[in-house]
Structure 1
């Protein structure tokens, strides 16, 4: 555990990408199995411990520390794991050796919830403050060390090269979802001690091809004849993997399995193909707003009523595999024809083809895009006719030409601390709009939350304003009087029964801090309601 803690600490304080890769490659080289495999799982977000919750950590700490002192400390530090790691008073005479990472993983995986506090207590006593911090970050699932899953896999490819093994990041990505922690077969291959793992027959995820954003002023430099256009639908990108010899699965664009929330989709995947598309809610042949899809996302249990009210549907963009045939090296036009042919003979339920948008000039396409918001469409996708399907976000083959965001002036009502490097600052805002004239009985009602869009310099000033104007505290939440106006940008707005205002924004972010604007001049709820997509 101490080696893993040292790696975490070094990653946090190494800002350069290449420096992080060197730290990781050294760790893979010098750490034995299965320790390095569990560390890889932790860094890539593949480790979860259902029985270990932040509340258990807080309650455990308060058996050793005065609750008031803990509360003051947490308010100053702003992070449960860091507060507990620093304030934990080890018992005199404790000589238990620090646990290896594998012991922690196996212990938490097999423990019942009632057994977790005793396990944690013993480990916390055996570790120093850095080890305690790493342990608590690990079990609460919030490492945030500035090393993404992609970076970890990049370091694996570089380490393999040093061992004389040719392994690209894309190859590792291709295998990833067919492997299980602690990845003994993966490390065996990359170290040169074993063969490359075989996952072709599994329901594994294939790395997704993504698009670059396109600004209006940049489109003039592109040749319209070289591109094909499709609508950018307002759902979530998914990969459908249905294999006759393996499992049928549904993945998000980042490789997260989402099929549990959509059993009505997964159970009907009776074919052998890998497809790329958009997950939507379609009712009576009409694509519903994203807010309807949110009713299905991240559900642990899906009732027949939910399935009936919010029927899931996949709008297909691309085909990656037709049976065992890998089509990704074909140009887009050829893959599109193969997709149309596959769809014509298969006719899968609850799926259709995303239609192509014919055009000859950018002006013609821009006019079509201008009306996209009225049809619950995010904008347009532009794809080069000759583009192969490659992983990542290469510049040039695919572009997303989104419609411009909506904006609204709102008033900050509540604030909480942020996360990671912003954990000490109040930068997570709940904001509201007026129900009417504030001087004639109008009140503020919450309409959204945001935690991004401002600079570090603006955050310091925002944090100071929140601290100087707090009127009440509700645990970690601070209430402030009407006085701080934000101009927020958002993609769309929908009706919501979960909010007092009856509306919910999609992807709100700070566009501008309106220090110059009086709170009474912020926008009214009626203005937001007029933007609702039904």
Structure 2
């Protein structure tokens, strides 16, 4: 555990991506199997301990310290693992019954995976007593699954690829056929073994991503006729794959863009995959032929399963962009113009309208492309137009390659909506931001029963610089008028308060929010120190943006 603890500690303090990658590569080089494999699993979200939950950890620390002191400390620190690691009694390490010797990551993982519910408290207590402060923090991060060290799954896989001459896309091709501790993967990466055998008939194919279009520069360099233009739908990117095993069993899977298998959450889509192919597309909620707001899709995301009522009320559908494989034929090295023609034919053989072809945008030249982006209503019916968040431009000659290559694909999103709001509440962040009030609830004006009042319309925790974060944090501390646990209410009135210009991608009606509206991807655009709160926007201005207004 010591090497793993030091790795997490250094990763949490290192902001640079390449430096994080170097730390990971060195760790994988210097750490033996199976410890390095379990570390990789932890970094990629491949570990889960069903009997070790945050409530249990709170119970353990409450038995060893004053619960009120713990609550105050947790409020200040903002991170459960860090708080417990700091407050756990050091005296436990000196007890004669505490086992000495190195605690390995493999030992922790294997014992937690096999331990019964009543055994877990004993194991965790013994390990916390053995470890130092950093070790306790790393153990608790491992147990809760929230590492929060700024390492994505792709970065961890890239670091494994750097052990030899592999590309990360090669690792992603075989990833879903592997299980921790990934010994065959490390052997392949280091040139000591062959490519792991992946017999999965419906594997995940690493996705191809687009660069944001720089309007001022790219439209003057790129030839518009070289690019296909597609609608960029406001859903989530998915791959729908199906195939047969050697024994004739059909395997059907739905993957997110990161390769997460989300099949169980969308059985209504999986049942439609009656083919031997892999399509790339956008997952949407479509009811009675109308694309519903992203908020409807959110009701089905992050769920392990979906019940009949949820499926009936929020039926899923796919709008297909690309055909990556059909039968045993891999099409990814073919030009997009060919893949598109094959996709059109293929979708024609699919019998259910819930898997349909995403239409091309019929435009010529940059002027028409820009006009379609600015106002999709001219080319689409209203319900579909409201679900468009911009355009995709794909080079007709481009093959399908993993990652984000510069040049073949661009995304040109619509300009965000802007609204002036007033800061109402602030809450401490997590990890590096645990000492700052960095999560902000903001509101706009409306007429209430007692006159003019602010009503919350959203919450944001990014979009500002580190210097702006310090400025807002200082304002929150100096203008707090109420405290509700970890939340501070700040002064907000016609003459006193901080105006935040908020950018967001769209707006939907919501019965869950007091204001009746919900923002899509809100973020702080800029701080309006110059503007009095009385001049912030009104709820009526937001309601006018609702799709059915």
Task: Please give the range of the TM-score, normalised by the shorter of the 2 chains.
Answer: over 0.9
Cα deviation for residue 300 of structure 1 reads: 3.2
Contact 2:446 2:454 survives alignment (8 Å): yes
Cα deviation for residue 10 of structure 1 reads: 2.7
Q: Aligned partners of 2:422, 2:53: CA distance in 1, in Å? A: 34
Structure 1 residues 460 and 434, CA gap change in structure 2 (3 angstroms):
same
SS at 1:447 equivalent: strand
Structure 1 residues 475 and 182, CA gap change in structure 2 (3 angstroms):
same
1:309 aligns with 2:313: yes
Q: Aligned partners of 1:521, 1:17: CA distance in 2, in Å? A: 41
- 1:446 aligned partner: 456
- 2:394 aligned partner: 383
- 1:11 aligned partner: 11
- 1:96 aligned partner: 99
Contact 1:242 1:272 survives alignment (8 Å): yes
- 2:266 aligned partner: 262
Contact 1:269 1:348 survives alignment (8 Å): no
Which residues of 2 match residues 314-393 of structure 1 at below 5 A?
Answer: 314-348=318-352, 350-372=354-376, 375-376=385-386, 377-393=388-404
Deviations 1:409-456 (CA, angstroms, capped at 9, x unpaired): 111221111122222100101112222289x61222221110000110
1:143 aligns with 2:142: no
Contact 2:266 2:305 survives alignment (8 Å): no
Q: Aligned partners of 1:43, 1:132: CA distance in 2, in Å? A: 17
Contact 2:75 2:485 survives alignment (8 Å): no
- 1:519 aligned partner: 533
Q: Aligned partners of 2:72, 2:53: CA distance in 1, in Å? A: 21
1:493 aligns with 2:490: no
- 1:455 aligned partner: 465
Q: Aligned partners of 2:81, 2:12: CA distance in 1, in Å? A: 15
Cα deviation for residue 407 of structure 1 reads: 0.9
Aligned mate of 1:484, from 495, 498, 501: 498
SS at 1:177 equivalent: helix
- 1:416 aligned partner: 427
Structure 1 residues 118 and 472, CA gap change in structure 2 (3 angstroms):
farther
Q: Aligned partners of 1:108, 1:411: CA distance in 2, in Å? A: 47
Q: Aligned partners of 1:194, 1:295: CA distance in 2, in Å? A: 44
Cα deviation for residue 16 of structure 1 reads: 4.1
1:49 aligns with 2:49: yes
Which residues of 2 match residues 218-297 of structure 1 at below 5 A?
Answer: 218=217, 219-245=219-245, 247-297=251-301
Deviations 1:234-261 (CA, angstroms, capped at 9, x unpaired): 1111011111226311111111222221
* Structure 1 range deviating more: 181-190 or 353-362: 181-190
Contact 2:177 2:200 survives alignment (8 Å): no
Q: Aligned partners of 1:462, 1:238: CA distance in 2, in Å? A: 38
Q: Aligned partners of 2:369, 2:173: CA distance in 1, in Å? A: 36
* Structure 1 range deviating more: 498-507 or 22-31: 22-31
Q: Which runs of 5+ in 1 are unaligned?
A: none
CA-atom RMSD, angstroms?
1.9
Deviations 1:304-339 (CA, angstroms, capped at 9, x unpaired): 222122110000000111111110000100110111
Structure 1 residues 114 and 475, CA gap change in structure 2 (3 angstroms):
farther
Deviations 1:362-416 (CA, angstroms, capped at 9, x unpaired): 1112222221275111111111110110111111111111110001111122111
- 2:177 aligned partner: 178
Q: Aligned partners of 2:510, 2:174: CA distance in 1, in Å? A: 40
- 2:211 aligned partner: 212
Which residues of 2 match residues 29-48 of structure 1 at below 5 A?
Answer: 29-48=29-48
Cα deviation for residue 126 of structure 1 reads: 0.9
Q: Aligned partners of 2:48, 2:111: CA distance in 1, in Å? A: 13
Q: Aligned partners of 1:231, 1:405: CA distance in 2, in Å? A: 16
Cα deviation for residue 147 of structure 1 reads: 2.7
Q: Which TM-score applies when normalising by structure 2? A: 0.92
Deviations 1:489-525 (CA, angstroms, capped at 9, x unpaired): 0000101111111110000000011112222221111
The number of residues matched between the two structures is 528
Cα deviation for residue 184 of structure 1 reads: 2.1
Cα deviation for residue 144 of structure 1 reads: 2.3
Q: Aligned partners of 1:109, 1:526: CA distance in 2, in Å? A: 54
Contact 2:347 2:355 survives alignment (8 Å): no
- 1:203 aligned partner: 202
Q: Aligned partners of 2:168, 2:189: CA distance in 1, in Å? A: 12
Contact 1:268 1:349 survives alignment (8 Å): no
Structure 1 residues 458 and 15, CA gap change in structure 2 (3 angstroms):
closer
Q: Aligned partners of 2:421, 2:119: CA distance in 1, in Å? A: 47
Cα deviation for residue 113 of structure 1 reads: 4.3
